[in-house]
Amino acid sequence: MDSDIRSAVRDGLGVGVAVGLSGLAFGAAAVAAGLGVAQACVLSLVAFSGASQFALIGVVAGGGNLIAGAAGAVLLGGRNALYGLRLAPTLGVRGWRRLLTAHVVIDESTAVATAQPGPRSARAGFWATAISIYTTWNLATLLGAVGAARLGDPKTYGLDVVGPAAFLALLWPRLTSGGTERVVALLAMAIAVATTPLLPPGVPVMLAAVAALAGLLRRRTPPSGQSDRQRELSHS
């Protein structure tokens, strides 16, 4: 095993265990939202997308419609399909294995894979991250849910705020990574705040996803300096 592969595996295991432990917060938040221990565990096993899972239970905790919560979760999880398109040539998975692989294409596994110098180390990093985070996240969900269920009424211990706090913690690195992300976040917040008094719980979350369109348009618009340079080249 060469040094690049060893480094990729080490990075993947570190990220997987560290992020997977936040499943404790999800398990506790799910029970606080009214889900049972089994429901929380099945959601982690089947959905396996932290931001989407927290969004769903946030809607449920607010008394919202389950369909609206699921739709919002699907919108958030849609980015994983784009990750899959990016990673497909590198991973080279064929047949039924694509379904299993797609299930663990998430922010963290994509980030570790794309940070590697070559395809072999990228594959090693991807699978090290995917396996470690899936295992840790689901075990942590079980522990968090069981622990919260044994405490009694979650609101007594303030566990009802775990979900929103953990969701913000997941999003915070993206809010500080660039101007486009901050624009999208502010626009989404404005949409959600404006529509919350008027619409049922869960619907404002879905509408807030429209803010992502502004981010896409902004990314597709080249900087003014680049446009000028392109114009210069076209005239030369």
- Which residues lie below 8 Å from residue 92, measured CB to CB, with a gap of 6+? 123
How many residues are given for the chain?
236
Question: Residue 163: which pLDDT band, with cuts at 50, 70 and 90?
Answer: very low
Question: Residue 152: which pLDDT band, with cuts at 50, 70 and 90?
Answer: low
- Which residues lie below 8 Å from residue 9, measured CB to CB, with a gap of 6+? 124, 125, 128
pLDDT > 70: percent of the chain = 67
pLDDT, position 236? 41
Residue 69, both tokens: 């919560």
pLDDT, position 227? 42
Question: Residue 234: which pLDDT band, with cuts at 50, 70 and 90?
Answer: very low
Q: Is 144 helix (H, G, I), strand (E, B) or coil?
A: helix
Residue 220, sorted as left (phi over 0), alpha (psi -120 to 50) or beta, turns out to be alpha
The Cα–Cα gap between 181 and 209 comes to: 13
pTM of structure: 0.69
The residue among 188 and 94 whose pLDDT is bigger is 94
Q: What are phi and psi of 92, to 5 degrees?
A: 60, 35
The Cα–Cα gap between 122 and 111 comes to: 10
198-219: b (≥16 Cβ within 10 Å) or e: ebebbbbbbbbbebbeebeeee
Burial of 35 (0-12, 13-18, 19+ CB in 10 A): buried
Q: Are 161 and 46 in contact (CB under 8 A)?
A: no
The Cα–Cα gap between 122 and 9 comes to: 9
